[in-house]
Amino acid sequence: MRFDQDDRGATAVEFAMILPVFLTIVFGIVTFGSYLAIVHGVQQLAAEAARKSVAGLTDAERSQLATGYVTSSVGSYPLLEPAKIDVVAGPSPAPANAYIVTIKYDGSSDFLFSLPFVPRPPFPVTRSAVIPYGGF
């Protein structure tokens, strides 16, 4: 049998050529899917904390309510680690008569975002929610 007519190793060669591309696509889907889940979770926490802060009568009480909500609820988001969350809540400089809750999450050291072949997504994730004061 001639060498140029032997195709017994063709499948192995094709597999070796396609495998890096396939793994890059799979790791990319996992990495960026997880990143988008983190972004969504941080935004949801900020929105719910802002809604919770409406019940406070003073800015200090509103801040305490927002921070307490984030602390107690972060456990329901599986990709978020409570130690990596920073909450800032206070009156909004513009527009007036509004309260803003900002949450920053730095997940850059997570194992999932150090997978090979895939660019690292941008961290920290910072999301804010603004809610107007009610009743006046």
**AA letter at 14:** E
Report the C-alpha gap between 24 and 59 in whole angstroms: 48
> What are the respective helix, strand and coil percentages of the chain, to the nearest 5?
55, 15, 30
Residue span of the structural domain in which 9 resides: 3-132
CA torsion, ordered 121, 67, 81, 126, to nearest 10 deg: 0
Please report the pLDDT score of residue 116 as a whole number: 73
Please report the pLDDT score of residue 4 as a whole number: 67
Based on the structure, what is the number of domains in the chain?
A: 1
pLDDT in tens for each of the 136 residues of the chain?
565 676 778 889 999 999 999 988 988 898 899 999 999 999 999 999 999 999 888 999 999 999 999 999 999 999 999 999 999 999 988 777 899 999 999 998 888 887 776 778 899 999 999 998 875 4
